[in-house]
């Protein structure tokens, strides 16, 4: 694919998986954005005061807020490159989400303030000062929107290069300012031709954009801090990688923990029941290395034996019918039927009264084992007894429906 002109001017600092290299790209984007936004802020604020345009003054502070966001980007990459320590075993990447929340709250406060000022201007309409320059200033503001779009493309190009969601989000922040500047420029030009209401109207429009960006930043950052579900596309890629590994028989569960630059994926992977320990360890290593090479994620892998009969309704119903007839059993869960060659292991968790004695629990297990072997056939039985607690969420039945007689 042919590189864009923006991409071609981005320097090559090396391996983008290296936190120090990523930090260099983050600093570059942040510094360029801060310089560009600061110059545009001064330009917009000067012209806004010069012609007494509430929309342009609002847009100026919108541009200044972009500098704050870029400062957050620099801080985030600076903290993210710090190595893990005792208090932060997964690194410091989430600090950028916390800083982003602070910036987002400031954005909303700024936006609400400008809504109030724009409504006041709408009620007490004022003419532009130095209106002879309004047309020229409107054109200059629209040109500033082009500059903001170039900054957006610059940020997005670096974000794609190092696969950084933060930089891509910053690019959209630039783009929202570009859209707002176009609206402001058109409002100033329109006001110059006899439509002075356009200035406070576009002032409200820009303020609403600022508030929307703030709310969106809060939502995204909060989701990352609380631990949102992994993206469907990421889950699909992980499944394809794991399934491509020889001797993997299935995937039960995928969860992901986002720590900024560090992403940890937890997997439950099925393998053959009679697999030797060293073979299982080798499979886990292959999965870990493949995910690391393709997605740069760390992994926690739980290998479990393939349960041949786990989904067979008839086999489970035999066990369920046996358990339901036992008055000592309050409830049960997690029935597993696992084949080892020609033999089968039956595993089940059973809920009993918390006051049951050790002797009675041993007797119950012995009787159940005999009944299961008699009715199910030759098998190995592994029963795990658990004391009943109030409001147990794992019970198959409610307490009221399984009382002792």
Q: What is the pLDDT of residues 205-246, one digit of tens each?
A: 877 887 887 788 788 777 766 666 667 788 888 888 888 888
pLDDT for 161-199, tens place per residue? 887 777 877 787 788 778 778 877 877 787 777 777 777
Give 365 or 258, the one with higher predicted confidence. Answer: 365
Q: Report, as an integer, the average pLDDT of 313-332.
A: 83
Scanning the structure block, which residue is given the tokens 């658990």? 386
Predicted pLDDT of residue 125: 61
Q: What is the structure's pLDDT at 42?
A: 92
Count the Cβ atoms, other than its own, within 10 Å of residue 213.
Answer: 25
Please give the backbone phi and psi of residue 247, each rounded to the nearest 5 degrees, phi first.
80, 0
Q: What are 3-60's pLDDT values in tens digits?
A: 566 777 788 888 776 778 888 888 999 999 999 999 999 998 998 888 888 778 877 8
Mean pLDDT computed over 353-381:
84
CA dihedral sign of residues 128, 129, 133, 136: negative
Residue 128: predicted pLDDT: 61
Task: Give the per-residue pLDDT at 84.
Answer: 67
**pLDDT the model gives residue 340:** 63
Check pLDDT > 70 for residue 309: no
- Least confident range from 9-18, 121-130, 354-363: namely 121-130
Contacting residues for 104 by C-beta, under 8 A, at least 6 apart: 213, 214, 215, 217, 218, 221
pTM score above 0.75: no
Mean per-residue pLDDT for 366-392? 80
The strand order across the sheet containing 343-352 reads 329-340, 343-352, 380-387
Structural domains of the chain in order of their starting residue, each with its CATH number:
5-226 (1.20.1510.10), 232-305 (3.30.70.1350), 313-401 (3.30.70.1350)
Distances (CA, A) of 305 to 273, 275, 276: 5, 8, 11
Query: Nearest CA to 188 among 138, 117, 142, 139?
Result: 138
Check residue 130 and give its pLDDT: 66
pLDDT value at residue 403: 39
Determine the 3-state secondary structure of 304 from DSSP.
strand
Confidence at residue 310, expressed as pLDDT on a 0 to 100 scale:
45
The values of phi and psi at residue 354, to 5°, are -65, -20
Question: How do the residues of the chain divide into helix, strand and coil, expressed in percent and rounded to 5?
Answer: 60, 15, 25
Average model confidence (pLDDT) across the chain: 78
More confident residue, 388 or 398: 388
- DSSP letter at 10? S
* pLDDT (0 to 100) of residue 35: 93
Angle ∠(117,172,149) on CA atoms, nearest 5: 90
Tokens of 18: 């290296």
């Amino acid at each position: 694919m042919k590189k864009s002109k923006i991409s071609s001017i981005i320097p090559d600092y090396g391996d983008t998986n290296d936190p120090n290299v990523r930090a260099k790209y983050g600093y570059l984007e942040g510094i360029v954005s801060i310089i560009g936004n600061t110059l545009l802020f001064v330009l917009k604020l000067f012209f806004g005061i010069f012609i007494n345009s509430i929309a342009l003054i609002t847009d100026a502070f919108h541009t200044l807020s972009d500098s704050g966001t870029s400062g957050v980007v620099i801080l985030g990459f600076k903290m993210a490159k710090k190595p893990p320590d005792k208090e932060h075993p997964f690194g410091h990447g989430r600090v950028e989400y916390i800083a982003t929340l602070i910036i987002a709250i400031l954005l909303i406060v700024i936006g609400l303030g400008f809504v109030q000022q724009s409504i006041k201007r709408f009620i007490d309409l004022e003419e532009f000062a130095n209106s002879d320059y309004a047309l020229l200033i409107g054109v200059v503001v629209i040109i500033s929107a082009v500059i903001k779009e170039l900054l957006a493309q610059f940020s997005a190009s670096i974000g794609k290069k190092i696969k950084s969601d933060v930089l891509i989000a910053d690019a959209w922040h630039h783009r929202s300012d570009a859209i707002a500047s176009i609206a402001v420029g058109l409002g100033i030009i329109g006001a110059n031709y006899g439509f002075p209401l356009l200035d406070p109207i576009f002032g409200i429009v820009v303020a609403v954009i600022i508030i929307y960006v703030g709310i969106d930043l809060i939502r995204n950052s909060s989701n990352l801090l609380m631990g949102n579900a992994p993206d469907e596309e990421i889950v699909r890629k992980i499944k394809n990688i794991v399934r491509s590994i020889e001797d993997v028989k299935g995937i039960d569960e995928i969860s992901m923990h986002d720590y900024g630059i560090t992403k940890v994926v937890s997997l439950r992977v099925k393998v053959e029941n009679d697999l030797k320990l060293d073979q299982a360890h080798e499979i886990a290593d292959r999965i870990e290395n493949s995910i690391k090479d393709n997605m740069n994620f760390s992994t926690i892998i739980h290998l479990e034996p393939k349960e041949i009969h786990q989904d067979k309704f008839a086999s489970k119903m035999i066990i369920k019918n046996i358990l339901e007839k036992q008055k000592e059993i309050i409830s049960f869960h997690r029935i597993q039927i696992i084949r080892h060659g020609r033999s089968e292991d039956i595993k089940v968790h059973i809920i009993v009264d918390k006051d049951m004695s050790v002797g009675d629990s041993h007797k119950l297990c012995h009787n159940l084992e005999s009944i299961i072997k008699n009715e199910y056939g030759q098998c190995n039985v592994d029963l795990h007894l658990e004391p009943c607690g109030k409001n147990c969420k794992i019970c198959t039945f409610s307490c009221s429906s399984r009382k002792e007689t």
